[in-house]
Structure 1
Amino acid sequence: MKVYAFISIFLWCLPAWAQRQPEADVQVETGEKNLTLDQPFIVTIIVKNHANRPTVTFPDLEGLEKRSASATSTTNSVGGKIVIIQTISQQYFALREGKYTLPEFSVIVDGTKFKSEGVTLTFKKGKEEQKTSELDIEETESTVNSEEPAAEDVFLQAKASRASVYLKEGFSLRLALYVAKNTPIEMEFYQLNSQLQPILKRLRPATCWEENIGIDEIIQKEVIIRGRRYTEYQMYQAMLFPFTVQNVSFPAVSLKMLVTDASVTGKLKDKGIQTFSSKPSRVVVKPLPPHPQKDQIAVGEYTLKEQLTKENLASGESLRYLFTIAGRGNLATITAPEVPLVKAFDFYPPDMNQTVQRSYERVSGEKTFDYFIVAKQKGTYPLGRFFQWIYFNPSTARYDTLRSSKTITVAGEDMQSASILDANARLVYENVEQLDTTESYVDYQDMIRTLTNSVVLILLGIMGWILRK
C-alpha cells in the first residue's frame, strides 16, 4: 500500500510540478548611513517574479520616525515575455542628531519575514527640517470635508484631496484618526483588522480605478491643525481615478476605540469603548469637453521623450524608435499611438516598457513604446506625420498632442511595396511543389503520447498487483 500511495502522490503532483512558476525573488536594501536631519534613512524591498502587488509591513525602528513611503513597478515586455520588478521604499527620519545603532530587523512581505543586517546611522544638523505639517480641515476649493470644531479632542476623517475632478483625473483619499496631544485620555485600537475591512469596503468607490502603495500598517505622525498639535493615525490612503461621469460619494464611517480617562487619579481607571464617526463627503466628476476620441483619450500632465537609433539610413535598412510618455496620471490606461499604414515604412507592433511610481499623493512615471521600423522609400520624413498622441490636460482644461520632433532621411532605391513579412512568407512556400512527399514523417508528439500511455498502463498494472496481494 505504501508503493501505491507513493505512486498516486507522484502522479497527482507531477502536472503541478511541471507547470510551477518561479518563486518570487525578494531583496532588502538600506540607504545612506551618514545623513542630515532633513534626509531620510530609506529601507527598500525589491520584489521580482511577482505578478501581483505584494503586501509589505516595515518595522518600527527605535529612535526613528516612520513617514512617507513610495512604490515603483517596472514592467518590461520584450517579444511577448513580461518581466515585472516592484520596489517599495519606506522613509525614516531622526528627530535629533546623533548615532543610532539599529539591530537586525525584518520586513514582512506577504506574510514572510525577510531579514536585514543591523546598521549604524549618523545624523547631523542640516537645513532646518519642518517637523510638522499643516492641515487645512476647512471647506475650500481643494478640500471636501466639513469644518471640524477647533476644540474637538479626537475625530475621524475620510478626506479627499480635491472637491472636483475631470473624468479619469486622479485625486487622493485618506482615512485617519486625529488625537490631540494634550487630551487627557489614553486610546487603543480595538479589533482594528475586523473593523477596517468593512470600512474600506464602504469607502472604496466602484466607479474608480485605485492605485495604492500596498503597505499594510498604520502611519503615525504629528500634525498641526489650526494651531493645535495632533497625532495623526493614518489607516488608508490611495489615488483614485474615476472612469464614469458620476459623482464619487464617501459615506460616513465609524471606528470603535478603547478609551481610558487618564485624568482619573488612583490605580483603577475606567476603560470603555467609544465610537468616532467621519462626515460624509463627495467629489464632483466633470465630463471631458467634446472631442471625437474623448472616450479613448488619457487624462493627466505628460511630456514626450523620444530616441532614434539612426536618423540617416538606406532603403531596406531598419531602425528602432522609442516613444516615451512621461508625467502624472493613470499610466495603466495609456495605449500606444495609432500609427498609419504608409508605403514609405513598415512599422511593427511595439514592445512596451513601463515604470510607475506610487506615493501617498501622486501617481507618476513613464511608458515607453519601442518600435521596429524598416525604411522602403527614399526621402526625408518628419516622424511627427506618423507618431502623435492626444491627451487631456486637466490643469489647462484643454486637449494637447505629443508629436514627434525627429526626422528620418532615407537614401537609395525604393523597395517593392510588399512588406518584409510578405517576402518571408513567400520564401517559406518557395519550391513547395518540388518537395518529396514519399519520405516518411516522424510524429514525435505521437511517440511521446504513446510512451506516456505505456507508463500509465505499467503503473496501473503494478497497482493492481499490489491490491491483489
Structure 2
Amino acid sequence: MKLYALLNIFLCFSGTLCAQVINDAATIEFGSKNLSLDQPLLISVVLRDAETRPAVIFPEIKDLEKRSKSATSSISTVDGKKVVIQTITQEYYAVKPGNYLIPEFTMIINGVKLRSEETMAVFSQGAIAAETNAEPAGNSILEQDLGDNDRDIFLSVQTDKKDVYIRQGFALRISLYIAENAPVEMEFYRFNEQLQSILKKLRPVNCWEENVGIEEIVKRRVTIRKRKYTEYNMYQARLFPITSEDIVFPSITLNMLVTDNNGAVNVDRKVVRAFMSRPTKISVRQLPDHPLRDQVAVGQYSLKENLSSKLVYPGESIRYMFKVEGVGNIAAIPDPVTQASSSFDIYPPEKSQVIKRSYQGVIGEKTFDYFVVPRKDGTFALARYFQWIYFDSTKQKYDTLRSSRTLEVKGEDYRLANLSLSGSAGLYDNLESLDSSNESINYKQILKDATNAIVVILLITMIWVFRK
C-alpha cells in the first residue's frame, strides 16, 4: 500500500515538473519549403523573453550550402510589461533542383535542447537560377586585394562603401579566400584567439556596431576575375559612424596551419604561415547645415500611421500610431517632434521596435503609440502636431515625415448622440468611481504559483509516507 501511494506521488510530481518545464520560450521554425533555386530555405531559432542574443550554430545539411545569417530583435510593451523576442535565421541554398531531406536535428540554446522533426524541402528551377559562383558584393575591393597577379590565397577586409555620411551604415566583412585549384593544404590555427585579437585591433571606437553574429566559419563559392575561390567568412557587421572622423581599418594578420610537403619523403610537416590584409579607409562626411543636424537619423525611411477614430468629442481619448520604418540605425531613431498646442493633450508615447540585422543592411521599424485627448471643437490636420525629420542618404537631403490624417472634434451634441448609440464614456467620465488600486490579473503567474504550491505539498506528502 505504501509503495502504491509512493508511486502515485512520484507520477504526480513528475507530471507537475514537466508542466513547469515545457514552454514555448524557444522554438525552431522553418520558412517556406517549396522554393526556387534563387530562394533560400530559412531555419530560425525564436527566443522569447530573451534580453541578449545567444550564440547559435545551425546544423550542416547534406547538399545544402549555408550562406547569410540574420538576427532580428523585437521589443514591445504588453500590459505594461516589456516583451523581447530574438530570432536568429540561417539561409540554406541548393545548387540544383530536387527534393532535399532535412533530417531530424537538435540544438542546445541557453542550456535548453531544441528538437526539429525530419522534413522535406523542394527546390525547383524557377524563373531565375541561383548563381552559386556569383561575384560577391564589393568585388572591386576583392580585385584590389588580389593585386596585379592572381593570388591563390588572400585575406580581405571588405566594406561595401568607401564614403559615408555620419550615422550612415556600411558593411564590414572579414574573409579568407582560397582558390579551388590552389596546390596547398591548410587548416585554421587557434582561430578564436586570433579572431578576438583581430577584432580588438579592427573595431573602430567611433562607430555603433550592429553585429550579425557569426559563431562559425561560413564557406561559399565565389568567382573573382573568372577564377573560382572558396570564401571563408569569419566576421560581418554593420557599422554606423557617430563622429565625423574618418575610419581607418589597419592591416591585420591571420595565421594558418599549412602542410609542407617539401620535406622528407612520405612525411608531412605542418608550419604556421601568415596572411595579411590590405589597410582600408572610410571617409566620413558631416551632414549639411540644419538646426537638427546633430540629432536626426540618417537612412531611407517611410511613415505608417493609424488613428483609432477620426471623429471624437472633446475629452475623449484616442490612440495615434506613428511608425517609422526603413533602412538605417533603427535602435537610435529619435522620437518624433510633437507640437505643443492648447487644442490637444499629447501624452508621451509607448515605444516598440523590430530590427533585422544582416550583412546587406539593418532594416526594421520603430513605433510610437500616443494617447491624444482633444480639448475643443474643430478639424485638425495632425501634420501640424506630429513630424519626424531625417536625412535621406540616397537623395542626400533632409526630408520630413508628416502625418496625413485629419481629426474632427465635435462638441456636446455629438457627444450625446455618441453616448446614446454606444454607451461609451470619455476619458474623464466616472473618474471618481474608478479604483486605481485594482491590478490586472496575471493568470500565468497564478498558474505558476499554484504549480509550485502543488510541488511543495507533494514533497511534504512523500516525506510523511516515508516516515510512516
> How high is the TM-score relative to the length of structure 1?
0.79
- Residue 93 of structure 1 aligns with an amino acid whose one-letter code is Y
- Residue 130 of structure 1 aligns with an amino acid whose one-letter code is E
Once residues 232 and 264 of structure 2 are traced to their aligned partners in structure 1, the CA distance between those partners, rounded to angstroms, is 27
| Residue 147 of structure 1: how far off its partner (Å) | 5.7
Once residues 214 and 383 of structure 2 are traced to their aligned partners in structure 1, the CA distance between those partners, rounded to angstroms, is 42
Partner of 1:398: 397
- Residue 252 of structure 1 aligns with an amino acid whose one-letter code is S
- Runs of 4+ in structure 1 off by over 4 angstroms are 110-113, 143-147, 261-266
| Residue 262 of structure 1: how far off its partner (Å) | 6.9
| Residue 134 of structure 1: how far off its partner (Å) | 0.9
Once residues 405 and 23 of structure 2 are traced to their aligned partners in structure 1, the CA distance between those partners, rounded to angstroms, is 43
Deviations 1:119-163 (A, max 9, x none): 233333323221222145546xxx996563442110001111111
CA contact (8 A) 1:144 1:161 kept: no
Counterpart check, 1:224 vs 2:262: no
Partner of 1:115: 115
| Residue 342 of structure 1: how far off its partner (Å) | 1.3
RMSD: 2.9
Partner of 1:199: 198
| Residue 34 of structure 1: how far off its partner (Å) | 3.5
| Residue 33 of structure 1: how far off its partner (Å) | 3.2
Q: Size of the alignment, in residue pairs?
A: 401
Once residues 178 and 373 of structure 2 are traced to their aligned partners in structure 1, the CA distance between those partners, rounded to angstroms, is 65
> How high is the TM-score relative to the length of structure 2?
0.79
Correspondences of 1:46-57 after superposition (within 5 Å)? 46-57=46-57
Once residues 145 and 373 of structure 2 are traced to their aligned partners in structure 1, the CA distance between those partners, rounded to angstroms, is 60
Greater displacement, 255-264 / 395-404: 255-264
CA contact (8 A) 1:210 1:241 kept: yes
Evaluate the alpha carbon distance shift between residue 147 and residue 101 of structure 1 in structure 2; reply closer, same or farther with a 3 A threshold: closer
Gapped regions of structure 1 (runs ≥ 5): 1-21, 429-469
Partner of 2:294: 295
Partner of 1:41: 41
Deviations 1:386-441 (A, max 9, x none): 00111111112211110111111111059xxxx978x979x99xxxxxxxxxxxxx
Deviations 1:314-334 (A, max 9, x none): 122121111010110001111
- Residue 115 of structure 1 aligns with an amino acid whose one-letter code is R
- Residue 134 of structure 1 aligns with an amino acid whose one-letter code is E
Partner of 1:208: 207
CA contact (8 A) 2:186 2:259 kept: yes
Once residues 35 and 130 of structure 1 are traced to their aligned partners in structure 2, the CA distance between those partners, rounded to angstroms, is 15
Identity of aligned residues (%): 46
Once residues 106 and 194 of structure 2 are traced to their aligned partners in structure 1, the CA distance between those partners, rounded to angstroms, is 27
Partner of 1:89: 89
Once residues 311 and 144 of structure 1 are traced to their aligned partners in structure 2, the CA distance between those partners, rounded to angstroms, is 58
Evaluate the alpha carbon distance shift between residue 396 and residue 263 of structure 1 in structure 2; reply closer, same or farther with a 3 A threshold: farther
| Residue 174 of structure 1: how far off its partner (Å) | 0.3
Partner of 2:172: 173
Evaluate the alpha carbon distance shift between residue 251 and residue 23 of structure 1 in structure 2; reply closer, same or farther with a 3 A threshold: farther
CA contact (8 A) 1:378 1:413 kept: no
Correspondences of 1:308-457 after superposition (within 5 Å)? 308-413=307-412
Gapped regions of structure 2 (runs ≥ 5): 1-21, 414-425, 436-468
- Residue 307 of structure 1 aligns with an amino acid whose one-letter code is N
Once residues 314 and 249 of structure 1 are traced to their aligned partners in structure 2, the CA distance between those partners, rounded to angstroms, is 59
Once residues 204 and 194 of structure 2 are traced to their aligned partners in structure 1, the CA distance between those partners, rounded to angstroms, is 18
CA contact (8 A) 1:144 1:160 kept: no
Once residues 161 and 253 of structure 2 are traced to their aligned partners in structure 1, the CA distance between those partners, rounded to angstroms, is 22
CA contact (8 A) 1:377 1:413 kept: no
Greater displacement, 303-312 / 235-244: 303-312
Once residues 113 and 148 of structure 2 are traced to their aligned partners in structure 1, the CA distance between those partners, rounded to angstroms, is 43
Once residues 284 and 310 of structure 2 are traced to their aligned partners in structure 1, the CA distance between those partners, rounded to angstroms, is 45
| Residue 341 of structure 1: how far off its partner (Å) | 2.2
CA contact (8 A) 1:104 1:118 kept: yes
Deviations 1:427-467 (A, max 9, x none): 99xxxxxxxxxxxxxxxxxxxxxxxxxxxxxxxxxxxxxxx
Once residues 34 and 272 of structure 1 are traced to their aligned partners in structure 2, the CA distance between those partners, rounded to angstroms, is 47
Partner of 1:131: 132
CA contact (8 A) 2:143 2:225 kept: no
- SS state at 1:200 partner: helix
CA contact (8 A) 2:75 2:352 kept: yes
| Residue 114 of structure 1: how far off its partner (Å) | 2.5
- SS state at 1:343 partner: coil
Greater displacement, 227-236 / 150-159: 150-159
Once residues 144 and 388 of structure 1 are traced to their aligned partners in structure 2, the CA distance between those partners, rounded to angstroms, is 45
Evaluate the alpha carbon distance shift between residue 264 and residue 144 of structure 1 in structure 2; reply closer, same or farther with a 3 A threshold: closer
- SS state at 2:39 partner: coil
Once residues 144 and 397 of structure 1 are traced to their aligned partners in structure 2, the CA distance between those partners, rounded to angstroms, is 29
- SS state at 2:199 partner: helix
CA contact (8 A) 2:322 2:367 kept: yes
- SS state at 1:133 partner: coil
Once residues 281 and 33 of structure 1 are traced to their aligned partners in structure 2, the CA distance between those partners, rounded to angstroms, is 41
Partner of 2:254: 255
